[in-house]
C-alpha cells in the first residue's frame, strides 16, 4: 500500500463511506468531470502547489481530484471548523492520496494549525473561502507571500475582505474573485444556499415551515434564495434589509419588509444571511416568542450575538443534534442551530453537487488561467474572464440536454449598429 500523504483527520476508517459519497456527488458534476478529463491530458497545473482552504465536503473532494489531475500538488484544509465531513476527509487521504487537514468541530487553535500546515508546503497558488488562509499568510508569514503567484476566493465575505486589503495596499499577490462571477453567485449563492439552508433547518428541527413566520435578514444573492425557498414551503416570509433597493425588491416580490425590531416578536424562525455582524442582538432575543429558532447562513458566526444570548440565559441544553436551547429568566426558550455557524453546512451537507459543479468548474478554470497568466498581473482582486464564465454555463446547459439559440447574421448586425431606428 502506498504511504499516506500528510494529514490530520478524525478517523481514517470512515474512508469507504466517504469515497461512496464523493462518487455520488461526482455523478451530478458533469462540467467538473469534463474539465478533469481535459486536465488529465493537458496537465495545466504541473509544477504548482495549491493550498486550498475550503469547506471539506464531497463536492470539494471532486475539485481536489480535478486539480490533482491537472498536475498540481494539492493540500486541503477546512475553511470553517464545523463544516467538515469527516468521512470525506478520511477518503481524500486514504482513497485518493490527497493531503488533508480537517476535523469537524476542531477548536480555533487546531483550525489555524491546519492552515499553517498547508502554508508550510510553500504554495504557489492559494484557493480560499472566506479569506482566512490569505489573511494568515499576509499577517503571520508575510515573507512567504513573495513566492505565491496568485490565488482565488470562493465567497462574498472573502471578496469583501480582499477588497479591503487591496484598498489598504496590503494585498501581496493577485486573486480572482470567483464569487463575483455570474455562474457562481447567481446559482451557488441563490439556489445552493436557498435549498441547503432550509435543508439544514429542517434536519436540525424537523419543523413544518408551512404557516410559520420565517424572518430572513439580508436580501442579497443568498437571501433571495432562502426567502423564495421558505415561501415555496408555505412560510409567511419577512425580510429585513439596510439597502433600500434590495428592501424594495423584496417588497415587490411579495415579502413583508420591516425592521428587525418589528420582526423579532413575530418570527418563528430567524435566518441571518447578510455577511455583516450582530444582526440578532439582545434586544431582539428579549422580544422573541417562546420557542423561536435562530440560525445563520452567512459566512462567519458573527451575525448572531451569541455572547449576549448566553448572558441573558439561565440555562442551556442540547435538545437535538445541532440544536441548542437557551432558557431565559422568564422561562422563554430560544433555539440556536449549528452554534450560529453556517447552518447549511453545520446541520446539512452544504450545497447540492450540481450547483457546486459550476462554482468548482469556475475555480478549476481560474486556477488554470492563473497558472498561464499570473506574470502580467498586479497584486489586485480580478474578475474571472467573461469567456470562461460563458464556457461553464454552456457546458452546464449541454449536460442538462438543453440548447439555446445563436444570433443570426442579421441580429448581429442589428445589435452592432446605431443607425437603425423607428
Ligand atoms: N451558506 C453558504 O453556503 C453561503 C454561500 C455563499 C455565500 N455565503 C455568505 O452569505 C453572506 C451573504 O452573501 P450574499 O452573496 O448574499 O451577499 P450580498 O452582499 O449579495 O447580500 C447581503 C445583503 O445583506 C444586507 N445587509 C447587510 N447588513 C444588513 C443588516 N444589518 N440587516 C439586514 N440586511 C443587511 C445587504 O444590504 C445585502 O443586500 C456572505 O457572508 C457570504 O460569504 C454563504
- DSSP per-residue string spanning 94-125: HTT--EEEE-TT--HHHHHHHHHHHHHT--SE
Quote the pLDDT of residue 98.
98
Nearest ligand 1 atom to alpha carbon 243:
37
Q: If you take atom 25 of ligand 1, which residue's CA is the nearest one?
A: 218
Sign of the alpha-carbon dihedral angle for 113, 115, 118, 120: negative
Q: Could you tell which of 79, 160, 161, 222 is best to mutate to test the pocket of ligand 1, judged by most ligand atoms within 8 Å of the CB? A: 222
**Rounded CA separation 321/371 (Å):** 43
Question: For residue 147, what is its C-alpha cell?
Answer: 513566492
How big is the CA angle at 322 (ends 10 and 353), to the nearest 5 degrees?
Answer: 70
| Cα 74 from Cα 230, distance rounded (Å) | 38
Ligand 1 centroid to 158 CA: how many Å?
12
Residue 127 backbone phi and psi in degrees, to 5:
-130, 110
Across the range 269-280, mean pLDDT stands at 98
The residue written with cell numbers 434536519 in the block is: 203
Q: What is the Cα–Cα distance from 145 to 259, expressed in whole angstroms?
A: 43
pLDDT, residue 422, reads 80
**Ligand 1 centre and the CA of 269: distance in Å?**
18
Q: Supply the residue whose CA is at minimum distance from atom 10 of ligand 1.
A: 298
Q: What confidence tier does 207 reach under pLDDT thresholds 50, 70, 90?
A: very high
Q: Which atom of ligand 1 is nearest to the CA of 299?
A: 41
- Are the CB atoms for 221 and 156 separated by under 8 Å? yes
Gap between the Cα atoms of 370 and 270, Å rounded: 40
Q: Helix 132-140 vs helix 156-167: angle between axes, to the nearest 10 degrees?
A: 30
Half-sphere exposure in the Cβ direction for 248 (13 Å, CA)? 3
- Cα separation of 205 and 266, whole Å? 19
Identify the residue whose C-alpha is closest to ligand 1 atom 19.
Answer: 220
Q: What is the rounded CA–CA span in Å between residue 333 and residue 43? A: 56
- Return the ligand 1 atom nearest residue 55 CA: 3
| pLDDT at site 421 | 81
Distance CA 158, CA 358 (A): 19
Ligand 1 neighbours, Cβ below 6 Å, are 155-157, 185, 189, 193, 217-223, 240-243, 246, 273-276, 279, 297-299, 342, 344
In 3D space, the residue among 333, 336, 334, 358 whose CA is nearest the CA of residue 347 turns out to be 336
Tell me what the pLDDT averaged over the chain comes to: 96
**What pLDDT does 420 receive?**
81
Please tell me the distance between residue 63's alpha carbon and the centre of ligand 1 in angstroms.
25
Looking from the CA of 417 toward its CB, the CA atoms found within 13 Å total 9
Q: Could you tell me the distance, in angstroms and rounded to a whole number, from the CA of residue 30 to the centre of ligand 1?
A: 28
Spatial distance between the Cα atoms of 134 and 416, rounded to a whole number of angstroms: 43
Q: Is the pLDDT of residue 209 over 70?
A: yes
Mean pLDDT of 175-181: 96
334 close to 288: Cβ distance less than 8 angstroms: yes
| Ligand 1 centroid – CA 250 distance (Å) | 14
With CA atoms as reference, report the closest residue to 271 among 245, 244, 233: 233
For residue 342, report the distance from its CA to the centre of ligand 1, in Å.
Answer: 12
For residue 319, how far is its CA from the centre of ligand 1 (angstroms)?
Answer: 28
pLDDT beyond 70 at 32: yes
The residue among 10, 64, 56, 1 whose CA lies nearest residue 32 is: 64
Can you give the C-alpha Rg of the chain in angstroms? 22
Assign 371 to helix, strand or coil: helix
- The CA 332 to ligand 1 mean position distance, Å, reads 29
- Give Dmax over CA atoms of the chain in angstroms: 75
Determine the atom of ligand 1 nearest the C-alpha atom of 221: 16
What predicted TM-score, i.e. pTM, was given to this entire model?
0.91
Has residue 15 got a pLDDT over 70?
Answer: yes
Q: How far is the CA of 244 from the centre of ligand 1 (A)?
A: 15
Q: What is the pLDDT of residues 293-349, one digit of tens each?
A: 999 999 999 999 999 999 999 999 999 999 999 999 999 999 999 999 999 999 999
Specify the ligand 1 atom closest to the Cα of 246. 39
C-alpha 297 – ligand 1 centre gap (Å) = 9
pLDDT tens for 240-251 read 999 999 999 999
HSE-up of 138 (CA within 13 Å, CB side)?
Answer: 19
Model confidence at 1, pLDDT cuts 50, 70, 90, reads low
| Beta strands across the sheet bearing 125-128 | 7-9, 99-102, 73-78, 49-54, 125-128, 150-153, 175-177, 381-382
Atom 42 of ligand 1: nearest residue by CA position? 156
- Determine the number of helices (DSSP H) and then strands (DSSP E) in the chain: 18, 16
Using alpha carbons, select from 375, 391, 369 the residue that is nearest to residue 45: 369
CA of 240, closest atom in ligand 1: 33
For the chain, give the percent of residues with pLDDT over 90: 97
Give the separation between CA 127 and CA 145, rounded to whole angstroms. 14
Judged against a pLDDT cut of 80, whether residue 413 lies above it is answered with yes
Amino acid at each position: 500500500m502506498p504511504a499516506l500523504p500528510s494529514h490530520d483527520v478524525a478517523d481514517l476508517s470512515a474512508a469507504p463511506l466517504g469515497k461512496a459519497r464523493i462518487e455520488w456527488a461526482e455523478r451530478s458534476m458533469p462540467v467538473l468531470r469534463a474539465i478533469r478529463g481535459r486536465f488529465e491530458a493537458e496537465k495545466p497545473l504541473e509544477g504548482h502547489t495549491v493550498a486550498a482552504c475550503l469547506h471539506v465536503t464531497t463536492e470539494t473532494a471532486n475539485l481536489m481530484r480535478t486539480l490533482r489531475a491537472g498536475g498540481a500538488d494539492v493540500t486541503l484544509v477546512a475553511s470553517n471548523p464545523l463544516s467538515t465531513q469527516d468521512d470525506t476527509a478520511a477518503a481524500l487521504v486514504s482513497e485518493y492520496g490527497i493531503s488533508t487537514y480537517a476535523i469537524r468541530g476542531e477548536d480555533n487553535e487546531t483550525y489555524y494549525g491546519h492552515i499553517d500546515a498547508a502554508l508550510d508546503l510553500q504554495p504557489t497558488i492559494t484557493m480560499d473561502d472566506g479569506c482566512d488562509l490569505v489573511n494568515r499568510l499576509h499577517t503571520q508569514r508575510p515573507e512567504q507571500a513573495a513566492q505565491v503567484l496568485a490565488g482565488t476566493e470562493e465567497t462574498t465575505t472573502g471578496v469583501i475582505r480582499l477588497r479591503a486589503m487591496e484598498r489598504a495596499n496590503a494585498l501581496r499577490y493577485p486573486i480572482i474573485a470567483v464569487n463575483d462571477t455570474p455562474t457562481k453567485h447567481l446559482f451557488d449563492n441563490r439556489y445552493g444556499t436557498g435549498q441547503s439552508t432550509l435543508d439544514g433547518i429542517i434536519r436540525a428541527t424537523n419543523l413544518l415551515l408551512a404557516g410559520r413566520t420565517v424572518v430572513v435578514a439580508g436580501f442579497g444573492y443568498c437571501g433571495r434564495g432562502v426567502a423564495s425557498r421558505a415561501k415555496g414551503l408555505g412560510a409567511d416570509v419577512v425580510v429585513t434589509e439596510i439597502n433600500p433597493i434590495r428592501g424594495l425588491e423584496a417588497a415587490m416580490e411579495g415579502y413583508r419588509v420591516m425592521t428587525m425590531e418589528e420582526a423579532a416578536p413575530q418570527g418563528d424562525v430567524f435566518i441571518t444571511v447578510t455577511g455583516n455582524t450582530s444582526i440578532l442582538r439582545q434586544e431582539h432575543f428579549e422580544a422573541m416568542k417562546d420557542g423561536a429558532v435562530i440560525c445563520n447562513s452567512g459566512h462567519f458566526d458573527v451575525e448572531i450575538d451569541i455572547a449576549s444570548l448566553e448572558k441573558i440565559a439561565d440555562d442551556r441544553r442540547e435538545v437535538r443534534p445541532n440544536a441548542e436551547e437557551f432558557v431565559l429568566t422568564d422561562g422563554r426558550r430560544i433555539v440556536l442551530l449549528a452554534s450560529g455557524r453556517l447552518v447549511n453546512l453545520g446541520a446539512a451537507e452544504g450545497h447540492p453537487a450540481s450547483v457546486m459543479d459550476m462554482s468548482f468548474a469556475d475555480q478549476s478554470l481560474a486556477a488554470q488561467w492563473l497558472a498561464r497568466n499570473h506574470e502580467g498581473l498586479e497584486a489586485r482582486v480580478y474578475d474571472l474572464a467573461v469567456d470562461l464564465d460563458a464556457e461553464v454555463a454552456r457546458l452546464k446547459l449541454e449536460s442538462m440536454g438543453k440548447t439555446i439559440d445563436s444570433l443570426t447574421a442579421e441580429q448581429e448586425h442589428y445589435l452592432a449598429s446605431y443607425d437603425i431606428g423607428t
